[in-house]
Amino acid sequence: MNFHVMTLFPEMVMNGLNTSILGRAASNGLLSFEAINIRDYTLERHGKVDDYPYGGGAGMVMQAEPIYRAYTALCDRIGHRPRVVYMTPQGRTFTQKIAEELAKEEELVFLCGHYEGVDERVLEMIATDYLSAGDYVLTGGELPAMMMIDCISRLVPGVLNNDVSAEFESFHDNLLEYPQYSRPEEFMGRKVPEILLSGHHANIEKWRREQSIIRTLERRPELLEEAVLSKKEKLFLEELLRKKAENQEEDTI
């Protein structure tokens, strides 16, 4: 899978992506990362890519022309118009489901804005997706783009040493991941749950699923609305909800 990041800070992007698991995957030819410096495509002197907004207001706006020129140069190089994701708090909040959808693309472009944003006209011309990392404001789109690329890359076959890891971690079946433990068996008086030492794989799997349900109910209950549960797991959840309601009633007495 090929990622193209249109940015004013190419070093920031490449330094972040060419490390750890993603860096190894790129070395093995499973992924490729390219940071396209928008300044290289400006016609203004001194690499200028922004100007004052029409109508007044604080800050500067990234100009349409250098972004459009950078995008069309990429299109000419790869032979088609790839999907373009614009990083903005106004977009859909990025989720695992969106990552799974984007992982099906062969080429994916991320446009990273700065200052007070990007000239709306070029967004109308090239942007296909508007995505947000959350309801907060950052100085630019580079960090959200790298975060999303990391998430999407993990879904590309072969990127993880153990492909099962991508399937059975957080948000599998819309549940949070169960608690994890490693050696030693006891740390500062806290012991690994006995079930994990039993060697009984079926019981361990059942415990893990139940722990995922408990953790999701405690931390992200809204995810349970679309969780994929067996009949027994639904009964387990109903019992948890019943006990939770009883505890709340006792607290109000």
- pTM assigned to the model: 0.86
CB neighbour list of residue 215: distance below 8 Å, 6 or more residues apart = 175, 176, 177, 178, 179
Angstrom distance (rounded) from CA 213 to CA 198: 21
**Rg of the chain's alpha carbons, rounded to an integer?**
23
Angstrom distance (rounded) from CA 79 to CA 164: 34
pLDDT of residue 165: 55
* Distances, alpha carbon 217 to alpha carbons 73, 197, 205, 212, in Å: 48, 26, 18, 9
Q: How big is the chain, counted in residues? A: 253
Low-confidence ranges of the chain (pLDDT < 50): none
Beta-strand pair 2-7/107-111: parallel
pLDDT of residue 210: 97
Beta-strand pair 83-93/107-111: parallel
Residue 111: which of 72, 69, 67, 79 has the closest Cα? 67
pLDDT of residue 58: 87
pLDDT of residue 45: 82
pLDDT of residue 2: 98
